[in-house]
A and B are shown apart, each in its own frame.
Chain A
Amino acid sequence: MEYAGLRRQAAYTRKALFDQGYLDEQFYQLEDLQDDVTPNFVEEVVTLFFKDSSRLLSSIMQDLEKSSPDFQKLDAHMHQFKGSISSIGALKVKNECTLLGEYCSNKNLDGCIKAIHKVKREHAILKQKLEAYFQLLRQIGPAEGATRPVE
């Protein structure tokens, strides 16, 4: 049946997200939290995450676009962003963000700008992949989540 195929595909997609280092075990935690009371918990959280993290990302971008960035403010935004990333276990984004943090602490503006773009790219890739994954889940059945996933 197509249903079985979809299931397999979803499982494969999910596994790839971990295998390719996009997600870490925090995502398992989210999955464990999902239950009958909140059948779409993971998707809801991920949706919330992208909404929030996108906002934080843009505020970091704004910080860096200034001619003389306020590194203190930047650091605060970075912190928030890192916290946000940790919520769903976005491993690749987190790694890029760590690099960005190093540039920030060295006040290397060029490095920061390069790094933020990488962060942004990884963020976008993850969003895309997760959207696809939740799409699959929704096709599998209402029990797996019928709400629109990532925005």
Chain B
Amino acid sequence: MDNPSSSSRFESFPMGLRVLVVDDDLTWLKILEKMLRKCFYEVTTCCKARAALDLLREKKDKFDIVISDVNMPDMDGFKLLEHVGLEMDLPVIMMSVDGETSRVMKGVQHGACDYLLKPIRMKELRNIWQHVYRKRVVEVKDMEIQDINEEIYILRSGFEHFDDRLFMTSIEMTSSSSSSSRKRDAREFGDLELCDPAAAKKARVIWSVDLHQKFVNAVDQIGFHKVGPKKILDLMNVPGLTRENIASHLQKYRMYLGRLQKQQETRALSSNIQSDLSPEDHSQSIDCQNPLQFTQNTEANSCGNNPHKFLEKVMLQDAQKSDPKNPDFFLGKDSNGGVNAADTTHPQKTNGGPRPAPLLHFKGMSPGADHKQAHPTLSKQQLWHDSLPLRQFMRYPKHDHEPFSLLDDYSLPAPTHEPRVSPWHSQCPPSLVSISSSNEKEEPDFVVKSRKVQNLNNTSSVSIQVEHGAVNSKEFGGIYEHNRSHDWIPPQTKLNTGTEPELIALSEDTNMYSVQGVDFNGSEMQPHNNECAASLTHLQSNWYDELEYSCEYLYDSLDYPLLDECLFA
């Protein structure tokens, strides 16, 4: 599923489903193999759990699903299940003769997507493709979510390095770190991303949406840094849930976050290239996160939680998409492809308040024209909103940056692109993939539009941002980095929960912030832009990855509706 190359297999799906069967019972192995072959699946059998694990590690993308016995002498089937879930992110079906509830429950807790009792019937095996398919659907959703998250990230951290810098150095007041150092950061991030790809696949637990939401809520409540399985367990207070389950889920969640970070990075890079985003991104990034530094958890939490929560608000932003305002600027920059040119111009404008993304937006956006435009655009966006209200919210940050705008533009005007793209964008602003691909290919025109949109978005999003900013200021006072990451999450929650008085007060504070942020950005932003160009190579690689994804998604366009259900959404 993960392989784009497997697209050909999609055509005949579920025929050709690649199944690995692990059972120490040779008789069953033979029977299962025959049954699966009769289903036209591609079967590999293995009678040793360890050998199976080695095989899976060796040929990571050679299997779609694993069927494993629970009782195996060389390794507990649950253990294998856990490894497969975490390392390969493959759906695993457990089987045993024993239908004891506790045992089945254990299997499910460890992430089994199904639990079959021996004797297994062929009709049961005939249906196993659904687990693979479901996972794809969920992944699509995840991608959307990720996109949203990415957007958020971009908003927050337009440049992750920037954020990192702020994080690492801000404390030291070395915010003015040299571009080289930033580059280095970027590279490091890139590497991380490269490594994470596996993580990107992150195993999906069968957690229900509700359960996962509880989990996310608990994580948010505790705070990323302090999160621990036990604490989450206590907070969630769900009977039957074990610390183990949570630990496993948390691990996956972190990986998921890590993946998001990567995507964000790529986006950030792309945005940097465009240069427009950089300032805004920085501000945003600062506010929300230093994903890398903070650890994936924080990011994930912030992203996961925020996107949804934000989405509602974002919708407003989406409306902004159609900003006529700064087309020229954007165009010029985009056409140049030149990160530098665009960067310089935009950054300054937007940069005004780079680190407090909200602030920046406000500043840049503040112009009445933007706001006005945003409103009209809203109608268009509303369509999107209907489908993905939450996600839209996320977008808004993206809009500020180029990627978002691009996406929006696509969705609105151009159904021509794949239907998918638009949905994605609308739904999940963060979806880096779609954005990235579109940006690269369609660069100039889109960019321009997107930028306009961004402006609009900024205006609309102002209220939200302000709130965030306020939160940040209050909570963190001087220190931006940590706070920012936190802020992002809390703002959403706060917004949702809605302590209105506080928020209002905050908004005022945020304005102050923005001013400060602007100063910072002005000095620092430029270097980023330059760096952006350097990072282009990285971006490109990322882009390709994303492109691949998008291709796959295209296939799954039908799945969109499902996206909403994603756990991580």
Residues of A within 8 A of B (CB): 26, 29-30, 32-33, 35, 38, 41, 44-45, 48-49, 52-53, 76, 79-80, 82-84, 86-89
The answer to whether A83 touches B25 (Cβ under 8 A) is yes
Contacts of A30 in B (CB 8 A): 31
Give the CA-CA distance A13 to B27 in the complex, in Å: 23
Cβ-based interface call for B71 (8 A): yes
The answer to whether A52 touches B30 (Cβ under 8 A) is no
Cβ-based interface call for B35 (8 A): yes
Give the CA-CA distance A87 to B97 in the complex, in Å: 10
A123 to chain B, nearest CB (A): 14
Contacts of A79 in B (CB 8 A): 71, 96-98
Contacts of B97 in A (CB 8 A): 79, 82-83, 86
Instruction: Give B48-81 interface residues, CB cut-off 8 Å to A.
Output: 69, 71, 73
Cβ-based interface call for B368 (8 A): no
Instruction: Pick the most buried of B27, B73, B122: most chain A CB atoms within 10 A of its CB.
Output: B27
A16 to chain B, nearest CB (A): 21
Cβ-based interface call for B34 (8 A): yes
Given A26-B119, A79-B98: A87 and B34 interface contact (C-beta under 8 Å): no
The answer to whether A86 touches B119 (Cβ under 8 A) is yes
Give the CA-CA distance A105 to B131 in the complex, in Å: 35
B-side binding surface: helix, strand, loop or mixed? mixed
The answer to whether A52 touches B35 (Cβ under 8 A) is no
Give the CA-CA distance A88 to B122 in the complex, in Å: 14
Contacts of A80 in B (CB 8 A): 24-25, 71, 73
Contacts of B96 in A (CB 8 A): 79, 83
For this complex, 11 residue pairs linking A to B, each with C-beta atoms less than 8 Å apart, are A53-B27, A79-B71, A80-B24, A80-B25, A80-B71, A83-B69, A84-B27, A87-B27, A87-B28, A87-B118, A87-B119
Give the CA-CA distance A26 to B31 in the complex, in Å: 11
Known interface pairs A48-B27, A79-B98; 12 further A-B residue pairs with C-beta atoms within 8 A, sorted by A's residue number: A29-B121, A29-B122, A33-B31, A33-B35, A35-B38, A38-B34, A44-B30, A45-B30, A52-B27, A80-B25, A80-B73, A86-B118
B124 to chain A, nearest CB (A): 11
Cβ-based interface call for B171 (8 A): no
Which of A33, A49, A53, A89 is close to B38, meaning CB atoms less than 8 Å apart?
A33
Cβ-based interface call for B238 (8 A): no
Give the number of A-B contacts (CB < 8 Å): 61
Contacts of A89 in B (CB 8 A): 119
A-side binding surface: helix, strand, loop or mixed? helix
B281 to chain A, nearest CB (A): 56
B55 to chain A, nearest CB (A): 22
Cβ-based interface call for B369 (8 A): no
Contacts of B28 in A (CB 8 A): 83-84, 86-87
Cβ-based interface call for B26 (8 A): yes
Contacts of A38 in B (CB 8 A): 34
Contacts of A87 in B (CB 8 A): 25, 27-28, 31, 118-119
Contacts of B25 in A (CB 8 A): 52, 80, 83-84, 87
Give 8 nearest A-B pairs by CB, closest first.
A87-B27, A86-B118, A26-B119, A49-B27, A83-B97, A82-B97, A86-B119, A48-B27
Contacts of A53 in B (CB 8 A): 27
A50 to chain B, nearest CB (A): 9
Instruction: Pick the most buried of B35, B97, B122: most chain A CB atoms within 10 A of its CB.
Output: B97
Contacts of B98 in A (CB 8 A): 79, 82
Give the CA-CA distance A49 to B122 in the complex, in Å: 19
B345 to chain A, nearest CB (A): 69
B256 to chain A, nearest CB (A): 35
Give the CA-CA distance A84 to B119 in the complex, in Å: 9
Contacts of A49 in B (CB 8 A): 27
Contacts of A52 in B (CB 8 A): 25-27
A81 to chain B, nearest CB (A): 9
Q: Which residue of B lies closest to A25 (CB)?
A: B119
B117 to chain A, nearest CB (A): 9
Give the CA-CA distance A82 to B71 in the complex, in Å: 11
Contacts of B34 in A (CB 8 A): 33, 38, 41
**Hey, what's the 0/1 contact readout for B88-115 against A, CB within 8 Å counting as 1?**
0000000011100000000000000000
Give the CA-CA distance A44 to B34 in the complex, in Å: 12
Given A76-B71, A83-B71: A48 and B30 interface contact (C-beta under 8 Å): yes
Give the CA-CA distance A148 to B118 in the complex, in Å: 27
Q: Which residue of A lies closest to B118 (CB)?
A: A86
Give the CA-CA distance A87 to B26 in the complex, in Å: 10
Give the CA-CA distance A84 to B73 in the complex, in Å: 14
Give the CA-CA distance A33 to B96 in the complex, in Å: 21
The answer to whether B121 touches A45 (Cβ under 8 A) is no
The answer to whether A48 touches B26 (Cβ under 8 A) is yes
Give the CA-CA distance A96 to B234 in the complex, in Å: 45
